Structure 1
Amino acid sequence: MARLLASFVFIVLVACGVPEDAKKPDIPGLEQEILALGDFVSREEAARVARISYEYSLQLRSEYQVSDPPLIHNTKVNQGLRSRGLCWHWADDLESRLRAENLQTLSLHRAIANTDNLRIEHSTVILSERGEPMQSGVVLDPWRYGGYLFWAPMVEDTRYNWKPRSQVFRDRRN
């Protein structure tokens, strides 16, 4: 039984590891993805948001004292060993930082996944062209790889079924 438990823990920890390519910032790639959101997206804003998203995620990694995969770090936060670093902390902080930029051609959305199943809930920020729905946007997820920014078009992020945070909160009240 102990051997089975040890094997399970090993598999979980390996599965939580950060892919090597995620550790290499791709600011130009994110900038191009942001520009592809629509014809009215400012080149300057796309470049600024791409740079800030990567740099601020790494800054938060340092501030949160992340030294483990996200689920292990969550455990440390929940045990009081770290003060911040749950997914919603990352999302709140990244959203606040990007809102401080007073974006004119881009909109920020908050989303939550796994609200209706046994998996752990997850929160993130989604960026879209101003006025467009989050479904047409790009997921900016600094938690997923422990401060190494994950990004992808929302429709391609099949790991999570994102819902607008406001809808999730409304559903919980009912």
Structure 2
Amino acid sequence: MTRTLAVILALLSLATLAACSAPPPQTGDEVQRLATQIRSLGPDIDPKEADRAARIAYSYTAQLVQEYEITDPPLIHNAKVNKGLRPRGLCWHWAEDIERRLKQENFQTLELHRAIANADNSFRIDHSTAIVSRKGDTMYQGVILDPWRYGGVLYWSPLVDDTRYEWVPRDVVLEKRRLEQVARMNLQPGT
């Protein structure tokens, strides 16, 4: 089996899984549940900041659903973005935009992080997310904010409880890729 065929089969399998995955149930108290989870990150979390972060995470996700023109499961939407049929909506777009919006709040007791999962798989089909933690804590002590996973329905969870992905700090992944690229360039003849 050629590498291209293997990639296509893997993508089809993932698309099938994504299409069959039902979004988590959404209720009117989801914002409050997320705010409570953020407040539980530590006693020094400002409750107003936790409430604001939760409210923004949900309202901005809804805004991005409209801007990104989300009408399909994530992997189908990704294909549309890659073909130029949709403006944005890849996982890293969601992570980048949510992080950017939350950073505008200049939180004093919360910190934002970015993470990537699956960066080491053979197909390089990785997944990006934003994470909110208590100021000074690592991303591993934070809460994932992942609106891509269920196609515009905000998934959140303490990072340690998210067994679907093995998250790595974004900076670590990008530095590893940079070093790999430098090594490849050094191996090329005539360079």
TM-score normalised to the size of structure 2? 0.82
Count of aligned residue pairs for this structure pair? 168
CA 1:17 to 1:74, structure 2 compared with 1: closer, same or farther past 3 Å? farther
Letter in 1 for 2:152: G
- Cα displacement (A) at 1:148: 1.0
Find the aligned partners of 1:98 and 1:71 in 2 and give their Cα distance.
25
Letter in 2 for 1:46: A
The C-alpha deviation readout for 1:33-84, integer Å capped at 9, x for no partner, is 0000011100000000000000100110011000000110000001110110
1:64 matched to 2:68? The reply is yes
**Higher CA-based Rg:** 2
Matching residue of 2:32: 28
Find the aligned partners of 1:125 and 1:138 in 2 and give their Cα distance.
9
Find the aligned partners of 1:100 and 1:59 in 2 and give their Cα distance.
16
Matching residue of 1:135: 140
Find the aligned partners of 1:53 and 1:31 in 2 and give their Cα distance.
10
SS at match of 1:85: coil
SS at match of 2:165: coil
CA 1:147 to 1:165, structure 2 compared with 1: closer, same or farther past 3 Å? same
Matching residue of 2:87: 83
1:166 matched to 2:135? The reply is no
CA 1:13 to 1:143, structure 2 compared with 1: closer, same or farther past 3 Å? closer
SS at match of 1:91: helix
Find the aligned partners of 1:118 and 1:62 in 2 and give their Cα distance.
33
Q: Which moved more, 1:108-117 or 1:23-32?
A: 23-32
The C-alpha deviation readout for 1:122-144, integer Å capped at 9, x for no partner, is 00001100000110000000111
SS at match of 2:87: coil
Find the aligned partners of 1:13 and 1:130 in 2 and give their Cα distance.
34
SS at match of 1:111: strand
Q: Do the aligned residues in 1 keep the contact of 2:99 with 2:130 (CA within 8 Å)? A: yes
The gaps in structure 2 that reach 5 residues or longer are 1-8, 180-191
Letter in 1 for 2:171: S
Matching residue of 2:187: none
- Cα displacement (A) at 1:16: 4.0
Q: Which moved more, 1:110-119 or 1:65-74?
A: 110-119
Among the aligned pairs, what percent are the same residue?
53
Question: For the aligned residues, what is the CA RMSD?
Answer: 2.1
CA 1:17 to 1:68, structure 2 compared with 1: closer, same or farther past 3 Å? farther
- Cα displacement (A) at 1:88: 0.5
The gaps in structure 1 that reach 5 residues or longer are none
TM-score normalised to the size of structure 1? 0.90
- Cα displacement (A) at 1:173: 1.6
1:94 matched to 2:98? The reply is yes
Matching residue of 2:118: 114
Matching residue of 1:144: 149
Letter in 1 for 2:87: S
Find the aligned partners of 2:77 and 2:164 in 1 and give their Cα distance.
20
